[in-house]
């Protein structure tokens, strides 16, 4: 019995040896300030370990690729390392630190796209993984029209 368990363990180890580790992933791009033309700041609160992020991110990217949203700029703030100070520093660079602190308090939530009016700092809409690509595009279009 022990021999069978040992063989099974070696089999699993061999199968997993080709998997990449988080240390091998490409670091996220540095956050830069939005352009003067941006009326809506679309901020994705993202982490590699977040299942909702993995569901929402490809939808948002597909919507971005298929549409042009005048006055909307998209940014991703990475919370993979659970570093709240770095998260809020990136939010400050975007001019939305107070908005994000107000939304999260002491608990940062990932897996959402926040559509924020640049001038007021108010969250116009929140996009989640349960929304279809058409609903996401509509939310972004509506946010751009309101600002």
pLDDT digits (tens, 9 = 90+) for 18-67: 333 333 344 456 889 998 899 999 999 999 999 999 999 999 999 999 99
Percent of the chain's residues with pLDDT above 70: 80
> For residue 10, what pLDDT is reported?
38
Could you give the 3-state DSSP secondary structure of residue 95? coil
Whether 93 is in a domain gets the answer yes
Whether 24 is in a domain gets the answer no
Whether 55 is in a domain gets the answer yes
Q: With bands split at pLDDT 50, 70 and 90, how would you rate the model's confidence at 4?
A: very low
Which domain covers residue 69, as residue numbers? 51-147
What is the rounded average pLDDT of the residues 5-20? 38
Contact, 42 vs 114, CB < 8 A? yes
Number of domains the chain is built from: 1
Whether 138 is in a domain gets the answer yes
pTM value is: 0.79
> For residue 50, what pLDDT is reported?
98
* Locus of tokens 């929140």: 126
| Residue 73, strand partner residues | 41
Full strand arrangement of the beta sheet holding 123-127: 72-78, 40-46, 112-117, 123-127
Helix axes 51-66, 133-146, angle to 10 degrees: 70
> Which ranges of 67-120 would DSSP assign to H, the alpha helix?
84-94, 97-104
């Amino acid at each position: 019995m022990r021999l069978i368990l040992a063989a099974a363990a070696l089999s699993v180890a061999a199968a997993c040896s080709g998997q990449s580790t988080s240390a091998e992933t490409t670091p996220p791009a540095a956050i830069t300030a939005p352009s003067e033309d941006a009326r809506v700041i679309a901020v994705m609160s993202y982490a590699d370990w977040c299942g909702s992020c993995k569901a929402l991110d490809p939808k948002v990217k597909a919507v971005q690729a298929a549409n042009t949203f005048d006055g909307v700029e998209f940014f991703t703030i990475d919370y993979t390392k659970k570093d709240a100070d770095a998260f809020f520093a990136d939010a400050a660079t975007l001019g939305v630190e107070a908005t994000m602190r107000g939304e999260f308090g002491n608990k940062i939530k990932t897996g959402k796209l926040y559509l924020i009016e640049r001038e007021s700092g108010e969250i116009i809409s929140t996009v989640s993984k349960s929304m279809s690509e058409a609903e996401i595009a509509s939310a972004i279009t509506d946010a751009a029209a309101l600002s």
